[in-house]
Structure 1
Amino acid sequence: MKDFINKLYRNHSLIYKALLLVATTFLIVYLFPKSGKFKYNFEKGKPWQSENLLAPFDFAIKKADEEIKIEIQKITESSVLYFNLDNAVEPEVRSAFEIQFGKKFSDSVQNISFPALKTCGNEVLNELYGFGVLSEDYSFSEKRAVAILDERTKKQDAFYSNLIKQSKVSSVIDKVLSKNDLLGYKADFTSLFFDIIEPNLSYDKSFTDKAIQEELDKISYTRGSVAKGTLIVSKGEVVEGDKYQKLESLRSEYESQVWNESNYNWVLFAYALLVALAMLMLLLFLRKYRNQVYENNTKVTFIFFNVLLLIFITTLVVNYNSKYIYIVPICVLPLVLKAFFDARLGLFTHVLTVLLLGFIVPNSYEYMFLQIIAGIVTILTVSELYKRANLFISVGQITLIYIIAYFAFFVIHEGSIETLEWETFIWFILCGLATLFVQPLIYAYEKLFGLVSDVSLLELSDTNSKLLKELSNKAPGTFHHSLNVANLAEASASEIGANAMLVRVGALYHDIGKMKNPTYFTENQSTGINPHDELSSKESANIIVNHVIDGIEIARKNKLPDRVIDFIRTHHGTSVVYYFYMKEKKNFEDVNKADFSYPGPKPFSKETAILMMCDSIEAASKSLKEPTSTKIDAFVENIINKQIEEGQFLNANITFKEIQSIKKVLKHKLANIYHLRIEYPE
């Protein structure tokens, strides 16, 4: 049992990655659609590339979206409008007419005209309330059929033009008076009726909508059917018209049919295999080409988390409305991974993620082509992300690539630009704006996962920061030494394509441990008094070696990133404090070399190896007397060759060719520092 537990402990990192792979696969498959995938790809207006296709089962031919839209529009525009009739209004109006008419015309007309006027008034009321007076004006077509409901019972049918709008009351009065040759009484009748006329019809929107919905529910979304074994399309035939509709119907039927438990489980199993294969490829890539990332479980988790997050967001958008699919800023993924790791890892992960998204999105080939091209452009254009202008320029280029590629695909599919949906370009612009969110996202990731990006490195490189200010005050010689090393290391890193910003920051902070005992280091001894004269060689060596441990403690206290602390930890590797070691050997024959050696570890990256070389060269260069080009060349060669012989760079992925390039840069820089010139004759 104990051996089993020990074995588990030794392989805990591998077990964690296996569990991470399984968990990520499960979550991604959970987000995927749980149906079969139609195995044929086809495009409208293009030849059928596969063999002759026979119907695998009976299925109905679905109507095209345009057909259904036309039917819906026709039903909506021709449906009956329902109005509720208020029976109490008309009797009240007629009663009011009897009262008001007597008051209005008793003294103003001769008795002989009075009955005619009253008959004309009743005729006006009959005209107005024949169908009814509307409570408000509506913008319906005059030819629209209407039904008048009396307590939810249909009383009569009519057209909307038969109903009297309140704005038309005056014209009805004019019409009746004109017919009876009584236009001279227009003003009196108008004032009379405008005081007593009340609407008795109100639009019943809910009842009308319910009736329309009942008609819409009767729409058939299919027209005809295809029997099993019927030829749908032959190889080489152009997919258009009825053939295209049959293929669309077959694909829709195939992907939406109800799966039994056995089929469902097989679909899940197949999806899980494909997703696990993709994520396994990512792990294998990390193990083979990015072993430092692979060994760090936090970084592996970070990469898997970003892949899962993008798939989750894309699934939400597709489920809501697939036309917004291009708003999702997929290019954030390569941007983030390039900021924290490198371009190659960013592109590889981006391509795998886009391939997985192909299972979710419609028009998967078009989508994958667009996103992969955009990812490549992102990797190629975005450099020095900490410069704001670079990000804006790159986002503009990415958006332009989206628009050009989409336009090309549309023309290929449709053959013209007449039906081009220009609003799609707005989605691409919104996607570009969303991509700018990468800056705050990188900051959040730094805090959550303890990573460091070039943006943070730029902040750390500020010599006015609190820690570097303290270093310049307590150990000015060390601070000046660190600045010189930073310049040498940055130039060397740029020469071989390493991370120049990272190595510069590492150089600025690599000796902060000397703040604890600054006067024990020669660069800070301005008074000429050397405290080591009063100590034994072993004690002196112990103080010198401890500046690495002290530096790590100070760095952790000031919350410096681990990538920067790595430079403090490795800048001396396992080398020996040679001066005090040789001094001890003069006095004693049996000297333990480990007592005079740094604890390590050895440099394990190009950047930490560069710092070791530059730190040794800069420190030792102070001992050069009357430097010449020949002396400097030999000096650089000797120091770096000695480090190679001691095996200090065995763990760093740096080549002999790159070391030679670094030597060349250091020789040139030292020559400039010491202002070597040709000797002029006197």
Structure 2
Amino acid sequence: MSSKYFSHVHRIIDILKRFRFLHIVIYSILATVMYIAMFSNVKPEQLNLDLFTVSENTIRSPITIEDKVSTEKKQKKAADEVEDVYTLKREYAQNRIDLVRSIFSSVDEVNEEIIEEYELKNSELEKAQAGEEGGQNDVKPLVPTTSEKLVRLKSILPSDLSKDLSDELLITLLNAKPEHLVRAKDATVTAVNNIMNKSIPASGVEKAKNSVETELQYTSLDSSLKNSMVELAKYAVIQNVYYDPVATEEKRQQAIDSIEPVKILQGQILVEEGQLISREIYKQLEFVGLIDTENSVQPFLGLGLIVTLLIALIIYYFLEGIPKNRNRNTYLLIYGLIFTLTILFMKMISLFQQIEYSEIGYIVPVAMGPLLVKLLINERLAIVTSIIFAICGSIIFNEGITGSLNFSIGLYYLFAGLAGVLFLSQHNRRSKILQAGLFISLINFAILSAILLMKNSHYSSMEVGSYIVMAIVSGIVAAVLTIGLLPFFEAGFGILSTMRLIELSNPNHPLLRKILTEAPGTYHHSVMVANLAEAACEAIGANGLLARVASYYHDIGKTRRPHFFIENQLNIDNPHDKIAPHLSKSIIIAHATDGAEYLRNNKMPKEFVDIALEHHGTTLLKYFYHQAKQKEEEVHEEDFRYPGPKAQTKESAIIGIADSVEAAVRSLSNPTSEKIESLARSIITDRLQDGQLNECDLTLKELDLVLHSFCETLKGIFHSRIEYPEATNQKVKKA
């Protein structure tokens, strides 16, 4: 009855897996389950209250929320009281001082250049005159004109500066004695520095310019130079205080930020029984969502956004985290069932919150979900699932406060899920699941103790005892449910979990012991094939663990007639030498079907049965075929081919190639890297040309990676060894 039931379930699941849009249906179901489970926990309590009516009940705020209207009024008042900010540009003083210095420096530069030029001209003129008049030198020296100096000075000054400064000022500076010019420069710079380091707003510029005369009145220079100094200093004095909109806005923002938000606190009485609902009270009721308004849709939009993000996370993982060569629909079905079952557990237990068990959420065996995902799919998805359950749990167990999050329960669920996943990552065996449950209970107790201590509340011994019981029960029940549900998932979906593969790889498994005792050569051959196949599968992203464990069992059919296979013929004659090629062919070919029969009878996974049948595909037994052709006139090639089927998966194809490559390389008398690569390449080419890889999805690029992996592994196995002295001496003596 049980086998018929599972067979029926398996057929239904196979039909579902082939449904084209199954992934869309499952994602939609998961989103619907999450949304419905959390819908009542975000739905705000709504009351039909009218403005200027008397309240029949005392109404309290269900949430803590800011009274934005009152807050904005206080903030506006504070901002209006802030005065405009004016900033003193201190760098302007240095800029104007540098300007004055540059003007004096330009005057000095012009005077020096003019003097040098005219000295040179006079020198040349004297030399010329001396040559003409026999050494007499009574030539009149050339003297630069004031206009020439002025033109030279204006040419090196900026054009706007030349226009702003009068010619009289520049001429006075050019004609001043050098020592007077130095004193004028120092006095002018000092005056500008003293004035510009004070605040000069736009309205005070004229006053500041007039103060220049006061600063320079005690300068002991002639009046014309002094007047030029005053004019230059007045030009240098400018406004240095400006309105600063950024600083003003910052100051206003600081005033706004200093205002504490006016909040309506959770549990705060908004209206007393029998009190008139004024306009202000009515607005507060609207703020907390207790009035039927259009804004009541917001919590549902928020929930929809959370659900969308969580589903997007799951979709992203299944697109990026599950390899394409694995049946994603199968794993998606499994995940959908586990996820839905865990959410239903949460929701059903959350209903007890309504009968004064507000902390009942700590008993939910939420770790069951991540444990099953870890065992049936993989660890990364289990960790993601732990995070998702923590988010959902914090909403479902929000203690009756609509729209809030129970961070304590969310943290508790997160640690519970992660504890189970991390424990099994170190102990990935079925027998360790119950131990994982005890470990989860320990972590539950630790995190729950931390939560209670942080709340700094006083608890009775009864309350503490109930928390401890819930923490322990949650972990143990999660493990028990995992143990109970795991076989149903494995049998119903026909999947081969990582844990199951690890268990089947145990050398003490009865079938492996059978191979070891009855066909030790085949056992060693299978181990070598397992090494080759696993490395090659991992190189192309296939299931390396499946390839390894299936390789252990792929030649179990040889145990029916072990001595007819060359690896088991130790110190005995080859029995094929005494029988006809047709009979030898039948015996050799039979090991594939015999192996599949053994595996079926022992309830081994379907993947193992398929690989046992497919690893030789429909290849030709060339040795016996050619032997038969030598003895008979008419021999059909089809009679000497394996019945197949051809390899249907990458793992099956790689195991078949590895089987041939290992046997061929083992027959080499002196294997070298070149010989190994040449032989492996020829075997792969032969399989490819013979059409043995036509029904699996191996690409040429992947075959190249497989070849490279085989060569690397075989080089490690057949590496050259050091020749010991004794062996060398014996060889010398024999020679």
Q: TM-score range by the shorter chain?
A: 0.5 to 0.7
Q: Tell me the CA shift for residue 356 of structure 1.
A: 4.2
Map of 1:318 onto structure 2 = 350
2:366 aligned residue = 330
Aligned to 1:508: 552
- The within-5 A match list for 1:351-370 is 351-362=387-398, 363-370=405-412
- 2:698 paired with 1:651: yes
1:306 aligns with 2:354: no
Matching residue of 1:445 = 489
CA distance in 2, matches of 1:331, 1:248: 41
Matched AA of 1:548: A
Aligned counterpart for 1:382 among listed residues 421, 424, 440: 424
Answer yes or no: is the 8 Å Cα contact 2:17–2:329 preserved in 1. Answer: no
Residue 609 of structure 1: how far off its partner (Å): 6.4
Change (3 A) 1:657 1:294: closer
Tell me which amino acid in the other structure corresponds to 1:243.
L
Aligned residue number for residue 562 of structure 1: 606
Cα pair distance change 1:33/1:620, threshold 3 Å = same
| CA separation of 1:427 and 1:581: change in aligned 2, threshold 3 A | same
Secondary structure at the counterpart of residue 681 of structure 2: helix
Counterpart residue type for residue 664 of structure 1: E
Aligned partner of 1:77 in structure 2 is none
**Contact 1:411–1:417 under 8 Å retained in 2:** yes
Kindly provide the CA deviation profile for residues 99-121 of structure 1, in whole angstroms up to 9, marking residues without a partner as x: xxxxxxxxxxxxxxxxxxxxxxx
Deviations 1:160-202 (A, max 9, x none): xxxxxxxxxxxxxxxxxxxxxxxxxxxxxxxxxxxxxxxxxxx
Give yes or no for contact 1:318–1:361 (8 Å, CA) kept in 2: yes
Give the AA of the match of 2:364: V
Give the greater-gyration-radius structure (CA).
2
Q: Indicate if the aligned counterparts of 1:485 and 1:615 stay in contact, CA closer than 8 A.
A: yes
**Distance change (3 Å), C-alpha of 1:317 and 1:640:** farther
Greater share of helix: 2
- Equivalent residue in structure 2 for 1:641, among 648, 660, 681: 681
Pairwise CA distance, 1:360: 1.9
* Deviation sequence 1:552-609 (CA, Å, 0-9, x none): 343223321123334324534676545456768999999979974774544745x656
Q: Give the conservation status (yes or no) of the 8 Å contact 1:385–1:454.
A: no
Q: Which residue of 2 aligns with 1:460?
A: 504
Residue 442 to residue 594, structure 1, CA distance change in 2 (3 Å): same
1:310 positional shift: 0.2
TM-superposed deviation, 1:305: 0.5
Q: Alignment partner for residue 433 of structure 1, among 476, 479, 486? A: 476
Which of 360, 372, 379 pairs up with 1:343? Answer: 379
Q: Deviation at 1:336?
A: 1.8
Note if contact 2:532-2:658 (Cα within 8 Å) is conserved in structure 1.
Answer: yes
- Given the superposition, is the C-alpha separation of residues 569 and 246 from structure 1 closer, same or farther in structure 2, using an over 3 Å criterion? farther
The 5 Å alignment of 1:401-416 reads 414=455, 416=456
Residue of structure 2 equivalent to 1:664 = 712
Per-residue CA deviations over 1:115-174 (Å, capped at 9, x if unaligned) read xxxxxxxxxxxxxxxxxxxxxxxxxxxxxxxxxxxxxxxxxxxxxxxxxxxxxxxxxxxx
* Rounded Cα–Cα distance in structure 1 between residues aligned with 2:51 and 2:620: 83
Equivalent residues in 2 for 1:22-41, closer than 5 Å: 22-34=28-40, 36-37=42-43
CA 1:223/1:443 → structure 2, altered by over 3 Å: closer, same or farther?
Answer: closer
Query: Partner residue of 1:243?
Result: 265
The residue identity in structure 2 corresponding to 1:442 is L
Q: Is the 8 A contact 2:621 2:640 kept in 1?
A: no
Unaligned residue ranges in structure 1 (runs of 5+): 1-8, 40-55, 63-217
Question: In the TM superposition, what are the counterparts of 1:4-403 in structure 2 within 5 Å?
Answer: 12-34=18-40, 36-37=42-43, 222=59, 234=71, 243-246=265-268, 275=307, 278-279=310-311, 282-283=314-315, 285-291=317-323, 295=327, 297-320=329-352, 321-362=357-398, 363-372=405-414, 374-376=416-418, 378-383=420-425, 385-387=427-429, 398=440
Distance 2:270 2:554 in 1: 65
Q: How does 1:512-661 map to 2 (within 5 A)?
A: 512-515=556-559, 520-524=564-568, 526-530=572-576, 534-535=580-581, 544-545=588-589, 547-572=591-616, 577-579=621-623, 596=641, 599=644, 601-602=646-647, 604=649, 611-612=655-656, 614-625=658-669, 627=670, 631-642=671-682, 645=685, 651=698, 660=708
Q: In the alignment, is the contact (CA less than 8 A) between 1:471 and 1:512 conserved in 2?
A: yes
How far the C-alpha of 1:14 sits from its partner, in A, is: 1.4
Find the residue that maps to 1:13 and give its secondary structure.
coil
Structure 2 counterpart of 1:100: none
**Superposition deviation, residue 359 in structure 1:** 4.1
Q: How much has 1:293 moved relative to structure 2?
A: 7.8
Amino acid at match of 1:667: K
**CA 1:233/1:244 → structure 2, altered by over 3 Å: closer, same or farther?**
farther
Unaligned runs of 5+ in 2: 1-14, 73-256, 272-282, 399-404, 730-735
The Cα shift of 1:476 comes to 5.7
| DSSP 3-state at the match of 1:624 | coil
- CA distance in 2: counterparts of 1:248 and 1:301, whole angstroms: 49
**Structure 1 residues 289-336: Cα deviation after superposition (integer angstroms, max 9, x where no partner):** 425586364443221100000001011111114412132232332222
Name the structure 2 match of 1:3.
none
**Partners of 2:52 and 2:441 in 1: how far apart?**
42
Residue 25 of structure 1: CA displacement? Answer: 4.7
Give me the whole-angstrom Cα distance separating, in 2, the residues matched to 1:240 and 1:419.
33
By how many angstroms is 1:376 displaced? 4.5
Whether the aligned pair in 2 keeps the contact of 1:374 and 1:398 (CA below 8 Å) is yes
Q: Is the 8 A contact 1:370 1:405 kept in 2?
A: yes
Report the Cα offset of residue 434 of structure 1.
3.0
Instruction: Identify if the C-alpha distance between structure 1 residues 10 and 390 changes in structure 2 by more than 3 Å, giving closer, same or farther.
Output: closer
**8 Å contact 1:496–1:658 — kept in the other structure?**
yes
Aligned partners of 2:477 and 2:653: how far apart in 1? 39
Query: Partners in 2 of 1:59 and 1:453 — Cα distance?
Result: 67
Deviation at 1:531, TM superposition (A): 6.7
Secondary structure of the residue that 2:496 maps to in structure 1?
Answer: coil
Instruction: Answer yes or no: is the 8 Å Cα contact 1:496–1:661 preserved in 2.
Output: no
Number of residue pairs the alignment of both structures matches: 489
